[in-house]
Amino acid sequence: MSKLILVRYNDYYGNGTDKKDEVILKTRTDFVHWLKQHNAEREAIGEMEETADEFDLIEINLFEK
């Protein structure tokens, strides 16, 4: 099995009820690149940038037959 990284918005600054699975990445280092793109998309629609501490990186297994 190979490992992937699930990026979950953790609602750190909210009331904890707005958690959301955002994306699956191949490596933890891809998170920095994804967050930069994610924030550029948010900025384009007038939303505030999000910081790394607002996300949990959860290692998951990919089953391949």
pLDDT in tens, 8-65: 999 888 887 899 999 999 999 999 999 999 999 999 999 999 999 999 999 999 998 8
Instruction: Please report the pLDDT score of residue 56 as a whole number.
Output: 97
What residues contact residue 15 under an 8 Å CB cut-off, 6+ apart?
Answer: none
CB 49 within 8 A of CB 39: yes
Residue 48, SS3? coil
pLDDT in the model for residue 16: 78
Looking up tokens 């992937």 gives 4
- Residue 43 tokens read as 């900025």
Query: For position 51, what pLDDT does the model report?
Result: 96
Provide Rg for the chain, Cα atoms: 13
